[in-house]
């Protein structure tokens, strides 16, 4: 994909360059930049760098460029190459095998060394626990080790190997292309995930199913239940407790309830349910208010609330009284009978129709994806599909079918084609 600069009513192409010609080195320049912004090569998956140039195993003479962990407790091997990433897939597979038995205490030791090397003063164990949102008790990584390969170019042999490995259903390998462009004295990077394509719906399905299985397999004592949440005609599957609360609070504020009223209802969290500051603020502005303190709040732009001239951020820290708080917020809403949640269940049926992926879970919940993204509201899309498939959207009494009943009819119609 070429880059262009808009100049008046024309487009000026920005020539593709190479890291070598720009004098950029693999470790000193590229790796350092990616280390500071790991999210650039891990789109859609929260990831934390644990160690750099990691090679703490017997007889090893090579090192992992970046050892990371994602928010599903999967260890992640990141391999970077300046130009073409020949054979980096095999190298990364060896590394993944080597760290597959890593224990939490070993990860803490590696992260402690990394923090010292980068001049950070955080407590290593606490930093990892806060990222994984496991405040106490044992921490166990999953058996899956994810791999991210980042390079300017990938050979056909490598991409074929990665596609085949991913197809086996037991690997999660991503290829991210980083292509440099020089503009005056600046270097612009065009970063694109090329394998698997972000819009690949089947890949998103695999990630979600794996996430559910991993949650069930955790050997910790904490309650890690995830929930399928329905608010009116909106269905949100597989949410952790903190995002269940975010969804309910977002709906409450949309209906006009104030943060102060919500604090009154969830009285035991009155002091820390929200933090706020006048004007429009981002995470940096909030952090400046609490120097040296690790803030555990939702700071993404679409997760904060701008109300009456102030910005509010909701707490991410939820423990044993989460469902009690959720129930209290639910009963403040205009139609609490239209709000529900239940533990996420496995996928029972999945069908594809004209670019849509329609799933029915064991709980009878219906969810729809298109181009790898959840479709909301589900009922509206089901009605469109029902019209195309000549499926009745009302029962014999003339009442409209709910999401579960209509979804089951749509799936049956697709299967009968």
The tens digit of pLDDT for each residue in 285-344 reads 999 998 878 888 999 998 999 999 999 999 998 877 999 999 999 999 999 999 999 888
Residue 410 resides in a domain = yes
Domain span at residue 385 reads: 347-415
| Mean pLDDT in residue range 232-261 | 91
- The token duo for 140 is 């166990």
Q: What is the largest CA-CA distance in the chain?
A: 74
Residue 11 resides in a domain = no
* Parallel/antiparallel/unpaired status of strands 339-343 and 366-370: unpaired
Please indicate, yes or no, whether residues 201 and 86 belong to a single structural domain of this protein. Answer: yes
What pLDDT shows up at residue 220?
A: 46
Please, is 161 exposed, middle or buried when counting C-beta atoms within 10 Å of its C-beta (0-12, 13-18, 19+)?
A: middle
CATH code at 136?
3.40.1350.10
Please indicate, yes or no, whether residues 306 and 251 belong to a single structural domain of this protein. Answer: yes
Please indicate, yes or no, whether residues 269 and 257 belong to a single structural domain of this protein. Answer: yes
Residue 203 resides in a domain = yes
Sheet containing strand 339-343, edge to edge, reads 234-239, 227-231, 339-343
The strand pairing partners of 37, in sequence order, are: none
- The more confidently predicted of residues 137 and 164 is 164
| Mean pLDDT in residue range 373-398 | 88
Residue 5 resides in a domain = no
- Least confident range of 165-169, 287-291, 378-382: 165-169
Residue 7 resides in a domain = no
Please indicate, yes or no, whether residues 238 and 356 belong to a single structural domain of this protein. Answer: no
What pLDDT shows up at residue 110?
A: 93
- The token duo for 42 is 């891990």
What pLDDT shows up at residue 264?
A: 95
The tens digit of pLDDT for each residue in 179-228 reads 888 888 888 888 888 887 754 534 444 554 555 455 544 444 456 688 88
Residue 222 resides in a domain = no
Please indicate, yes or no, whether residues 310 and 361 belong to a single structural domain of this protein. Answer: no
Answer with the one of 322, 343, 364 that is the final residue of a domain. 343
Under the banding of pLDDT at 50, 70 and 90, the label for residue 393 is very high
Q: Cα torsion for 269, 272, 274, 279, to the nearest 10°?
A: 150
| 3-class SS of residue 184 | coil
Residue 263 resides in a domain = yes
Q: What is the rounded CA–CA span in Å between residue 180 and residue 173?
A: 23
Please indicate, yes or no, whether residues 186 and 161 belong to a single structural domain of this protein. Answer: yes
Q: Say yes or no to pLDDT of 83 above 80.
A: no
Q: Say yes or no to pLDDT of 160 above 80.
A: yes
Please indicate, yes or no, whether residues 288 and 328 belong to a single structural domain of this protein. Answer: yes
Please indicate, yes or no, whether residues 333 and 238 belong to a single structural domain of this protein. Answer: yes
Answer with the one of 172, 194, 217 that is the final residue of a domain. 217
What pLDDT shows up at residue 211?
A: 52
Closest CA to 275 of 322, 315, 325: 315
| Mean pLDDT in residue range 263-284 | 94
| Mean pLDDT in residue range 154-171 | 82
- Count CA atoms closer than 13 A to 152's CA, side-chain side: 20
Q: How many structural domains compose the chain?
A: 3
Q: Please tell me which of 84-98, 208-222, 357-371, 379-393 the model is most confident about, judged by mean pLDDT.
A: 379-393
What pLDDT shows up at residue 61?
A: 66
What pLDDT shows up at residue 257?
A: 97
What pLDDT shows up at residue 219?
A: 44
Residue 353 · residue 385 · CB < 8 Å: yes
Q: Cα torsion for 275, 281, 284, 290, to the nearest 10°?
A: -30
Q: Please tell me which of 58-67, 175-184, 275-284, 377-386 the model is most confident about, judged by mean pLDDT.
A: 275-284
| Mean pLDDT in residue range 28-32 | 85
Closest CA to 311 of 279, 273, 344: 279
Please indicate, yes or no, whether residues 254 and 358 belong to a single structural domain of this protein. Answer: no
C-alpha dist (Å) from residue 250 to 137, 265, 303, 314, 317: 31, 15, 8, 10, 16
| Mean pLDDT in residue range 274-287 | 94
Q: Say yes or no to pLDDT of 366 above 90.
A: no
Please indicate, yes or no, whether residues 257 and 384 belong to a single structural domain of this protein. Answer: no
| Mean pLDDT in residue range 363-391 | 85
Answer with the one of 343, 373, 392 that is the final residue of a domain. 343
Please indicate, yes or no, whether residues 175 and 60 belong to a single structural domain of this protein. Answer: yes
What pLDDT shows up at residue 311?
A: 97
Q: Say yes or no to pLDDT of 56 above 90.
A: no
Residue 73 resides in a domain = yes
Q: How much is the mean pLDDT over the chain?
A: 85
Under the banding of pLDDT at 50, 70 and 90, the label for residue 59 is low
Closest CA to 246 of 227, 264, 260: 227
Please indicate, yes or no, whether residues 152 and 54 belong to a single structural domain of this protein. Answer: yes
What pLDDT shows up at residue 327?
A: 96
pTM value is 0.51
What pLDDT shows up at residue 405?
A: 92
Under the banding of pLDDT at 50, 70 and 90, the label for residue 45 is confident
Q: What is the rounded CA–CA span in Å between residue 48 and residue 69?
A: 5
């Amino acid at each position: 994909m070429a880059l262009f600069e808009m100049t008046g009513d024309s487009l000026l192409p920005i020539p593709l360059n190479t890291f070598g010609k720009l004098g950029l080195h693999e470790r000193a320049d590229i790796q350092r930049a990616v280390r500071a912004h790991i999210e650039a090569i891990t789109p859609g998956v929260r990831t934390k760098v644990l160690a750099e140039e990691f090679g703490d195993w017997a007889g090893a003479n090579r090192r992992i460029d970046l050892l990371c962990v994602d928010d599903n407790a999967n260890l992640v091997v990141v391999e970077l190459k300046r130009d073409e990433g020949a054979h980096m897939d095999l190298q990364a597979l060896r590394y993944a095998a080597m760290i597959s038995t890593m224990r939490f205490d070993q990860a803490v030791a590696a992260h402690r060394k990394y923090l010292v090397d980068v001049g950070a003063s955080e407590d290593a164990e606490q930093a990892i626990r806060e990222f994984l949102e496991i405040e106490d008790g044992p921490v166990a990584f999953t058996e899956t080790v994810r791999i991210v390969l980042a390079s300017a170019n990938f050979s056909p042999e490598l991409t074929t190997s990665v596609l085949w490995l991913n197809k086996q259903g037991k690997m999660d390998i991503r290829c991210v292309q980083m292509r440099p462009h020089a503009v005056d004295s600046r270097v612009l990077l065009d970063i694109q995930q090329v394998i698997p394509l972000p819009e690949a719906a089947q890949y998103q399905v695999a990630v979600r199913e794996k996430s559910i299985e991993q949650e069930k397999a955790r050997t910790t004592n904490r309650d890690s239940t995830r929930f399928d949440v329905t608010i009116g005609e909106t269905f949100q599957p597989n949410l952790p407790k903190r995002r269940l609360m975010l969804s309910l609070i977002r709906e409450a504020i949309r209906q006009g309830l104030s943060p102060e009223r919500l604090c009154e209802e969830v009285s035991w969290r009155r002091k820390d349910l929200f933090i706020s500051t006048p004007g429009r603020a981002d995470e940096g502005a909030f952090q400046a208010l609490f120097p040296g303190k690790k803030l555990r709040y939702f700071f993404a732009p679409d997760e904060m609330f701008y109300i009456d001239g102030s910005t509010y951020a909701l707490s991410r820290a939820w423990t044993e009284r989460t469902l009690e708080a959720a129930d209290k917020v639910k009963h403040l809403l205009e139609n609490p009978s239209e709000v529900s949640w239940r533990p996420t269940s496995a996928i029972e049926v999945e069908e594809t129709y004209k670019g849509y992926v329609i799933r029915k879970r064991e709980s009878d919940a219906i969810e729809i994806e298109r181009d790898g993204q959840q479709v909301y509201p589900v009922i509206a899309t089901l009605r469109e599909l029902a019209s195309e498939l000549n499926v009745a959207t009302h029962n014999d009494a003339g009442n409209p079918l709910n999401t579960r009943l209509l979804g089951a009819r749509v799936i049956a119609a697709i299967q009968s084609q």
